[in-house]
Amino acid sequence: MHGSLTSADNAKSRRTTQSGEDFPPFVAHPLVNSGHLQTIFAVYFPGRYPKYAAVQHRLQMPDGDCLILHDDRPADWQPKQRVVLMLHGLGGSHGSFYLRRMVHKLNAQAVRVFRLDMRGCGAGFGLAQLPYHSGRTEDVVAAIRKIELLCPGSPVSLIGFSLGANISLKLLGEIGSNAIGGLDSALAVAPPADLDLCSRVMSRGFNRIYDWHFVRTLKRHVRRQARRLPNSPAAQFAVRPRTLRQFDDAYTAPLSGFADVADYYRRCSSLAFVESIRIPTWIITAADDPFIPPTPLLQAALPPQVRLHITAGGGHLGFIARPGTDGDCRWLDWRVVEWVQRMGTERRCPPTESA
């Protein structure tokens, strides 16, 4: 079963996970005690966060597309202090609830946070002809370069969620021991490291609800894109996919230069890149995530720089914990804050910049 760990998996989890050392245990809220409930609760009960107050920076890409980088700088942040770059998941943007909550909590700790709207998302809607996808690491590189100009001398921690987590791990594997700006650490939450497997798991049973939700969201986005940019590739999209895999085969893959969906999933799954990661990296994922099984990461030969933490519960980006453990029930929010604080204390030297 993809939602639970076998005995063999548990044994390997003990070898790859520093549970109790890296992060305190997650104990699910008694009223949200399954992966599906955790996932759904996180969407419909987003929590509290302040009004938007970020400064926007434009990133002009060589292919003509433009990205938006959102800059939340607290008044007490000082030059050369650590900054964080966050990447949202599929169908998300800078306005995703989990990002907004974490920005608020990190700003309260004097941490400057940047959020990247992937191509055509959020404030970048209408500014990109090409679609975003699970392998667009060049966009993250552009964001890190921009942060280097805005915050010279500041170390950078990269934090990705879901699709953004896959992009993060793929980028770290691509660069290996080389450096990009001040990037010196990363945290990946719920990465779909094997895209083909995740697409198949999502098409089973109750998970079809999530599949339908993502496809509906993406088709709506493409229709809006076609109205805004009538000469864009989106305007030529006439297929009516019923699954995420069909959408990626008909739209994402051909518009992004891949032969088909199989080629896209093979070349962009971060599982093929994690063995090459040399920057200290933490991965958090839940054993009961409905559509992202932990098995591929458990079976991977992770390098010593990568630490894998698998919680028994939490669903997909849920992690609604029992009351009284942290400042609120959002276990993941507080782990991100603690991890960033630890990175600041352990201030690391990035690898040497490649030529």
Best CA proximity match to 190, nearest among 12, 42, 6, 24: 42
pLDDT score of 128: 95
CA contacts within 13 A on the Cβ side of 51: 1
Residue 275 has pLDDT above 90, yes or no: yes
pLDDT score of 235: 79
User: What mean pLDDT is reported for the chain?
Assistant: 91
Any idea how long the chain is?
355
Measured CA to CA, the distance from residue 289 to residue 272 in angstroms comes to 21
DSSP string, 223-276: HHHHHH-TTSGGGG-----SSHHHHIIIIIHHHTT-SSHHHHHHHH-GGGTGGG
Question: Which DSSP helix (H) or strand (E) runs through 316?
Answer: none
Cα 41 to its chain centre, rounded Å, is: 19
DSSP string, 176-236: TT-B-TTEEEEEEES---SHHHHHHHHTSGGGHHHHHHHHHHHHHHHHHHHHH-TTSGGGG
Which residues are bridge partners to 117 per DSSP? Answer: 68
pLDDT score of 19: 40
Residue 228 has pLDDT above 70, yes or no: yes
What percent of the chain has pLDDT above 70?
91
Dihedral pair phi/psi, residue 70, rounded to 5°? -100, 130
Q: How confident is the model at residue 353 (pLDDT cuts 50, 70, 90)?
A: low
Straight-line distance from the first to the last Cα atom of the chain, in angstroms, rounded to the nearest whole number: 46
Coil, strand or helix at 14: helix
Q: Which tens digits make up the pLDDT trace of 80-103?
A: 999 999 999 999 999 999 999 999
Q: State pTM to two decimals.
A: 0.92
Residue 1 has pLDDT above 60, yes or no: no
Distances 321 to 87, 207, 315, 328 between C-alpha atoms, Å = 23, 23, 11, 8
pLDDT score of 18: 36
Tokens of 54: 């970020």
Mean pLDDT is lowest, of 9-18, 288-297, 308-317, for 9-18
pLDDT score of 348: 57
Best CA proximity match to 160, nearest among 93, 223, 85: 85
Measured CA to CA, the distance from residue 154 to residue 175 in angstroms comes to 19
Mean pLDDT is lowest, of 31-35, 199-203, 293-297, 344-348, for 344-348
Q: Which tens digits make up the pLDDT trace of 38-61?
A: 999 999 998 888 899 999 999 999
Residue 308 has pLDDT above 60, yes or no: yes
Residue 259 has pLDDT above 60, yes or no: yes
Distances 280 to 98, 134, 302, 351 between C-alpha atoms, Å = 23, 21, 12, 11
